[in-house]
Amino acid sequence: MSFTYDAVGATRENGFCPPGFHPLHVRSRIGEGEEVFRRAAEAVMTWEMHRALGVGIDASADRAAPDVDVTVTLVGLIKAPCRVVWTAQEHRRIGWAYGTLTGHPECGEEAFLVERTGDGTVWLTVRAFSRAAKWYARAGGPATRGFQHAYARRCGAVLRRLCGGEEAG
């Protein structure tokens, strides 16, 4: 399968959104300290956060890495094939992004980054750009984008719970 958009890897650039796509940027506080950072990074890199969200994950590897194929199943019936396009393994920043493949209801890219700031605060940033690819995603219009924002906020709540913070809502 091939990517359904041209700007493959563009989520690596903070704030970049190709013309004709809708941007998404949601930043959630996860907690504080090195242990929270390590736990959050592991949950993101091993698909644990996504599975805890209640979505199906079928990945060709146990960890996110470039060229790993991932199919996300939403609501038990919508299959969304993706491929990891980049990863970050830095001292204070760990995460990855995947891009949509043929058959995905959306067209674009989404990144999940765990970052630890200088004061020790741990954040999850979900950033993406997308546009509808299938008729039902187009029919959803603004509601589809609202769902994407809610999903990104839920990622933060679930990751906070996995790392010992307050419960996911």
Beta-bridge partner residues of 113: 95, 125
pLDDT digits (tens, 9 = 90+) for 7-19: 999 999 887 899 9
Please give the class, per CATH, of domain 19-162: alpha beta
pTM over 0.85: yes
User: 38 in helix, strand or coil?
Assistant: helix
Task: Judge contact between 98 and 115, C-beta under 8 A.
Answer: no
pLDDT digits (tens, 9 = 90+) for 131-155: 999 888 888 888 888 888 999 999 9
Q: Which residue has the higher pLDDT, 160 or 168?
A: 160
- 3-class secondary structure per residue, 100-113: EECCCCEEEEEEEE
Q: What angle do CA 6, 44, 29 make, to 5 degrees?
A: 100
pLDDT over threshold 70, residue 168 = no
